[in-house]
Each structure stands twice: as structure tokens, then as C-alpha cells.
Structure 1
Amino acid sequence: MKKALLALSVFTVLSCTSGEQSDEVIEEVKDINVLVGTYTGRESQGIYQFSFNPVTGEASEAQFMAESDDPSFLALSEDQNFIYAVSEVNGGSIRAFSRTDTSMTFINEQSSGGVHPCHVAIDKTGKWVFAGNYTSGSLAVLPILENGGIGEPTQIIKHSGTGPNKERQEGPHVHSVNIAPDNKALFVPDLGIDKVKAYYFNDSTGVLSPGKDMEVLPGSGPRHFTFHPNGKYAYVLQELTGTVTSFSYLDGDLTRLEEYSTLPKGFEGKNSSADIHISADGEYLYASNRYHDSIVVFKIDTSNGTLEQVSHHSVLGQIPRNFAISPDGNFVLVANQESDNVVIFKRDTTNGKLEPLDKEVKVSMPVCLVFADN
């Protein structure tokens, strides 16, 4: 895909008699890369990548980068030189890869400390990886080595309990691991026990200690979690009820605020909410709904963290398990697991709404998107 060129024209009026002179300065806008985690149950072989133009919204075809079994969630190091991927097979593991803008190289693999890891995150120091294991309801801390690889888990924590939904909440099910912006705490939504488990974090030793847990409504099934850019508010998305719960955050602790539906008023069909993100300007919150197959947009009142539903947008595919907002905030890319496509939307920064661009990237079972600017 060709790189876009921005033309910046500077006009200088020389005199009434000599006329106008135009000096045109050409600024090159580079494509950025988008990494794609997948399920490998059909045609996918692992991790893919495509280039994306942040001016036009054009995207290249997806290129195969690294073989891996069910790399359904990815975490990118701050320097963007390393990728950490879950692998949901053979008991569960985290795999480390080095990367450039054109290649990925496997470094090593360690146990995730449980079964079926579905989420991975890196602390703010870049020294520790957190793994969340769905089936075993556990989480683990793993050290990052000097070569970018990972060491064996230094701490494994197993949750306990059940919820009222006997089919989905027969035991604990950790669904994500989320480090606070100040690196003081880790928040772990557990779908099986209707809690956001909280742990204080010592980033020198990598040790987690019990914090102030937050309960959500019974049968909600908390899944994914995000912080507001101002660091004062946080939001958890409930998979089973399609709701968002808001919290205030201060010095390692959450305080529960309000709850909001992600679905249209009066909707009574099948739904399973999946992913949640906030625009970098802090003005809008987005969440994905599977089966309803939509992205919901909320306006955020940044003075108190409250939400107001703005609109719903079809994802033009099936089962939007994950999505990502471009670094400049101008686009939203949606990974539709069952229709094998990543659909590109233009984002209106003035009202938060999405407009489809009739552009997509074909990838088998895409379930995680990560922007990388190198």
C-alpha cells in the first residue's frame, strides 16, 4: 500500500505587483501496523499483521507473522519490540516473540499458571507480565527477562466461588487482567463469581497482595475492563447482562458508581458483550455486543464519569470479540470472529459516531487487534 502524502501550502504575498508565490511542503505520512491475534480452529495459523494508512483508512492484505496455537490475546511492549501472546491449548501458556515491522521471532514459552489463558497484560515498568486463565479461574505473574523472553510464574492466584448462572458461573472464570495507570493495583474481572478482584501490586518484587474487591450485580459476568485517560474512573463490561459498571479510582482502590445498558431500549434478544475501550480524548466510551453484533457509543461526562448512550452501529460482520481505536482516534477497527473480517470505520471525533468505509481485511477468526506504529 502506498504511503499518503500531506501537502502543506504556505502562501507568501510578495507585493501588489509581483503577485503570490506558493511554497509547497510535502510531509510523508507513514502506514502503521496492526497485529491480529486469532483462533486457529479454521484456516488461521497464528498471528497476522496488516498495514493501515491513518489518513485514508486503507489497509493491506493480512500477512502471516508467527505460528502459534490460539493466540487469542496479545500484549505489546512499550518499545514495541516484543509481543506476548496467550496460547489456549496444552494446558495454557504465554509465548514471547521479538518483532520488527516486518517479522516476528519466537523467543520462549512458559506456563500461564492455569487453563485456557484468555488475557495478557504488561505492567508499566515493563518487567512483569500478567496472565488471566478463564477455565481454571486463576491469574499469574511472570517476569520479563533481559532478552524479552519470560520466566516461570513467580506467583499464581486461584479464585473461588460461583454465581447464579449455573451454565456459565459454575466456578471462577478470570476474563482479563488490568494494571492501573499508576501501576499500584491490578484489577481482575471474574465472570464466574461476579466480582472485580483487586490486588495491590509491588512493581519492585512483582508480588500481588489482596486489595479491595468490587461486586457487580449477580449474574452479570464481568469480562473486560478499561481506565479513563484521566486515571480517575474505570469501567467494566458485563458479558452476561450487557451492562457497563462505572467506578471511581484513587490510590489503588475502586468505588462503585453506576450501571448502564449497552443494548437498545427494549431489546430482548440474545447477546454476549465482549470488549470495551475509551477514546484517547476521554470523551467517548465504546463497547462491543456479540449476536446483537454492534458497537455502542457512550458520551462520558468527564467531571463525574457518568455515561449517556449515543448510538449503536452494526459491525458488518458476526461476533465482534475485539476492536481497537486508532492512535489518532480517527478510526475504529472491529475484529469479527465468525465472519472472518476486520471492518474499518471512520470515527467522528465531534460526536463519537462511526461511519463504515466499505473497507475490510480478511483474516480467519480474528479476535484481538493491536496497533503498532513501527
Structure 2
Amino acid sequence: MKNILALFITACSWVTLYSQHTYAFFGSFNWDKDTEGIYVYELDIIKGNLSKITSFKGIANPSFLTISPDGKYIFACTESKTENGGSVSSFEFSPEKKTLTFISTQKSGGENPVYLTVHRNGKWLINGNYSEGSVSVYPISDNGKIEPYVQNFQFSEGSINHDRQDRAHIHSTVFSPDFKYIFMPDLGADKIRAYQFQDEKEKPLQKAETPFVQTFPGSGPRHLTFHPNGKFAYCIEEMGGAVSVYFYENGKLENIQRIDTHSAKYKEGFESSDIHISPDGNFLYASNRGNENNIAIFSIQNNGTLKTIGYQSVKGKHPRTFNIDPSGNFLITANTGTNEVVVFKRNPETGLLKKVGKKIKIKGVSCVEIKRY
């Protein structure tokens, strides 16, 4: 009887697995709203191939995307790198109809929006503007419509590199694991800024007890991610070519390690860009642009610190972003410099990567988000 029950449970698991679909959403610098800007592909979870489902025209430079917790809405930084522009837009994705439909747009509150994140309740959207160093907070209606922003914080101070850090440059907006705080790596000021997030208030961003943590001078903090256990945070530093590791507790970050993302043969010209942790919490991946064009692979120790495992070429140039699918089996890179998307199979035991499937050509591809439906 037990054997029959086990077989039944296994069969149900396989049916559930194969009834689900995994989609990859790609943003791009299309520079012309009459051409395709956002692309949706289905990921073959066995072979790693990508098949185009749909795309969207009518918006300029949807350079960064994020997905609502229920997967129903796609939010995009639009008019990025557009003079006197800058907006955020929302779309509805229907996996049944395989359609992407425009819903709304709002001004970003500054030039060059580069990062969006959504609260777990799906009712708030946070945008970071790079060029003017600002952050905007938007309510989201039940139908996915973005309402005008209710808060806009402008920052001004820079840091030691006068060419790159003449003023603040917010490069990402990331919620803490409990969604009670929001962290904002500021490449221009060498700070990771922090605010309390009180979602029940009309203006949810409130001052934090510790308003920022100072990073290494000239490091240029860019993207931040938290370990699945909620105890550790990792920030990739674009200009310093390193990852800083932090112990995290109640809105406060305490630095415990700083480790190079680049191999020893590279001494300058770092352009580190994106950072993600495998769903099992065992490995961290960080992308390097510039001279290297690779993914640095680290194992995560019990105390949260990192140990370098190796480097994987992205088979292209300028991996601006990458992402890991929910199963943890695949890593997909958006190689902006060669207009290509590359899929890698991830070994869950070693953390190493192996290219699979065929490269996909997407002009100006700049972002990838992955969701299982």
C-alpha cells in the first residue's frame, strides 16, 4: 500500500511539473518605440531552449523589468537614457492567451530609471533613477495601473571618483526579506541607503535608525541581494570589481567580507554588474563586463562568507544582467554588447555552469526576469 501511495505522489508531482510553464521576460534598449522592446520566451526546463511567445512595441528603452508576486503584471523602466525622459510602465501578461498588454505609465521622477521592485502585497512599486540620484514610490491599483508617485527622494552627494561619482546615482531598490525595509545602493555616493517601509501609510518610506552604510571608497555599489535565510546580504560593486558581504538584522548591515569578482589577471577597468543566489542558498553568482565578460561563481559558507569556485564565460559581451530560474537548474544571461541571450545549465552540486540550447538574438537586450506559471 505504501509503495502504491509513493508512486501516486510521484506521478502527481510529475504531472504538476509538466503542467507548469516557465517564462523568461527580456527588456531592451530599442531606442525606437516603433520596434519591439519587451520580449517573452518560454524556457524548456529539460533542454534549456527558449521559444518566443510574444513581444511588445510602442515603448522606448524598457531597460529593466520586474514581475508582480502573482505574475500577472510586468513593470518596466521606460525611456531609460532618454533626455528629458524617464518613466515607469505596467503591462498585463496572460500565460493562457500568451499576450502582453499595456496598462499604464507614469513619470519616473528623474532621468534614467534603472531598477524597479514590487512589494510582496503587490500594492507598491519602488523605482530608482540613476542620473539624478532619486527614488520614487508608486501605489499600484488592483488592475495593475501605476498611480502617480507619492514620494520622491532626491540625493546629491558624490564620492572620490570625480568622473563617475560627481553626485548620487541610485542603481537599485531592494526590499529586506521581511519587506520592512528598503535598501538603495548608491553608486555615486558609495553608500547603501536604507529606509523603513510602512506599507499601511500613504507615504510608506520612513527614516531608518541607520540611514546608510558606507561602502569602500570608489567601489560604486550597484545591485544587492539577500540570502534565502534572511541573515546575510551581498552587494556587487561596479567600480571596485568586488562583492561586499554583510550580516543583516533589523534594518542594519554589518560588513563581514569583501571579495573580488574578477580573476587575478585583471587589475583595473572593472564593470561588475549583477548578482544572484541559487534558490538552495549554496552558491552566489556575479557578472563581470568590460575585459572579462564572465560570471564569477562563489560557494556560500555557513557563516555567510564567500569562497571563489571559478569563472564562466558568458559567450558574448557585456552581461548587463542575468537571472536564475525558480528551479535553480538554469542561468540566463542578457549580453547587451553582442545582442544575445545565452542559457546555461547549473550543476546544483558544484555550482558550475555549462552552456545549453541555442543563443537567442535580441537587439540591445538589457534585462532578464524569469517566472514559473
TM-score (norm 2): 0.90
Unaligned runs of 5+ in 2: 5-10
Matched, 1:55 2:46: yes
Aligned residue number for residue 183 of structure 2: 187
Whether the 8 Å contact between 2:118 and 2:124 is mirrored in structure 1 is yes
Whether the 8 Å contact between 1:48 and 1:66 is mirrored in structure 2 is no
Distance 1:187 1:343, change over 3 A: same
The separation in 1 between residues aligned to 2:57 and 2:369, in whole angstroms, is: 15
Q: What displacement does 1:132 show?
A: 0.1
Whether the 8 Å contact between 2:173 and 2:182 is mirrored in structure 1 is yes
Matched, 1:72 2:63: yes
Secondary structure at 2:71's aligned position in 1? coil
Whether the 8 Å contact between 1:330 and 1:346 is mirrored in structure 2 is yes
In structure 1, give the amino acid aligned to 2:49: E
The separation in 1 between residues aligned to 2:228 and 2:337, in whole angstroms, is: 31
Q: Summarize the alignment of residues 190-201 of structure 1 with structure 2, pairs less than 5 Å apart.
A: 190-201=186-197
User: How many residues of Structure 1 are paired with residues of Structure 2 in the alignment?
Assistant: 352
Matched, 1:129 2:91: no
The separation in 2 between residues aligned to 1:180 and 1:66, in whole angstroms, is: 34
Distance 1:62 1:360, change over 3 A: farther
Q: What displacement does 1:248 show?
A: 1.1
Whether the 8 Å contact between 2:299 and 2:351 is mirrored in structure 1 is yes
Aligned residue number for residue 343 of structure 1: 342
In structure 2, give the amino acid aligned to 1:183: F
The separation in 1 between residues aligned to 2:192 and 2:249, in whole angstroms, is: 16
Q: Which moved more, 1:288-297 or 1:34-43?
A: 34-43
The separation in 2 between residues aligned to 1:364 and 1:372, in whole angstroms, is: 22
Whether the 8 Å contact between 1:72 and 1:85 is mirrored in structure 2 is yes
Q: Summarize the alignment of residues 196-235 of structure 1 with structure 2, pairs less than 5 Å apart.
A: 196-205=192-201, 206-211=203-208, 212=210, 213-235=212-234
Secondary structure at 2:337's aligned position in 1? coil
Secondary structure at 1:281's aligned position in 2? coil
Aligned residues with identical type, % of pairs: 37
Whether the 8 Å contact between 2:54 and 2:100 is mirrored in structure 1 is no
Distance 1:80 1:111, change over 3 A: same
Aligned residue number for residue 285 of structure 2: 286
- What are the superposed Cα offsets for residues 207-262 of structure 1, whole Å, 9 maximum, x if unpaired? 21222211111100000010000011001100001110111111222222210100
The separation in 2 between residues aligned to 1:362 and 1:133, in whole angstroms, is: 28
Q: Please tell me whether Structure 1 or Structure 2 has the larger radius of gyration of its CA atoms.
A: 1
The separation in 2 between residues aligned to 1:253 and 1:141, in whole angstroms, is: 22
Q: Which moved more, 1:216-225 or 1:26-35?
A: 26-35
Whether the 8 Å contact between 1:318 and 1:336 is mirrored in structure 2 is yes
Aligned residue number for residue 7 of structure 2: none
Aligned residue number for residue 16 of structure 1: none
Q: What displacement does 1:96 show?
A: 1.1
The separation in 2 between residues aligned to 1:220 and 1:328, in whole angstroms, is: 33
The separation in 2 between residues aligned to 1:286 and 1:264, in whole angstroms, is: 14
Whether the 8 Å contact between 1:93 and 1:111 is mirrored in structure 2 is yes
Secondary structure at 1:67's aligned position in 2? coil
Stretches of 4+ moved more than 6 A in 1?
none
Whether the 8 Å contact between 1:61 and 1:362 is mirrored in structure 2 is no
Q: What displacement does 1:145 show?
A: 1.1
Q: Which moved more, 1:239-248 or 1:205-214?
A: 205-214
Whether the 8 Å contact between 2:48 and 2:357 is mirrored in structure 1 is no
Aligned residue number for residue 39 of structure 1: 29
Q: What displacement does 1:29 show?
A: 5.4
Matched, 1:100 2:97: no
Q: Summarize the alignment of residues 144-183 of structure 1 with structure 2, pairs less than 5 Å apart.
A: 144-183=140-179
In structure 2, give the amino acid aligned to 1:201: F
The separation in 2 between residues aligned to 1:134 and 1:170, in whole angstroms, is: 12
When you count strand as a share of all residues, which structure comes out higher? 1
Aligned residue number for residue 8 of structure 2: none
In angstroms, what is the RMSD of aligned CA positions?
1.8
The separation in 2 between residues aligned to 1:300 and 1:308, in whole angstroms, is: 7
The separation in 2 between residues aligned to 1:269 and 1:222, in whole angstroms, is: 16
Whether the 8 Å contact between 2:47 and 2:357 is mirrored in structure 1 is no
When you count helix as a share of all residues, which structure comes out higher? 2
The separation in 2 between residues aligned to 1:187 and 1:271, in whole angstroms, is: 23
Secondary structure at 1:338's aligned position in 2? helix
In structure 1, give the amino acid aligned to 2:92: S
Aligned residue number for residue 361 of structure 1: 360
Whether the 8 Å contact between 1:66 and 1:104 is mirrored in structure 2 is no
In structure 2, give the amino acid aligned to 1:59: L
Q: What displacement does 1:72 show?
A: 0.8
In structure 1, give the amino acid aligned to 2:22: I
Q: What displacement does 1:45 show?
A: 2.5
The separation in 1 between residues aligned to 2:260 and 2:321, in whole angstroms, is: 19
The separation in 2 between residues aligned to 1:290 and 1:238, in whole angstroms, is: 12
Partner of residue 83 from structure 1, selected from 67, 74, 78: 74
Partner of residue 136 from structure 2, selected from 131, 134, 140: 140
Whether the 8 Å contact between 1:44 and 1:365 is mirrored in structure 2 is no
Whether the 8 Å contact between 1:60 and 1:361 is mirrored in structure 2 is no
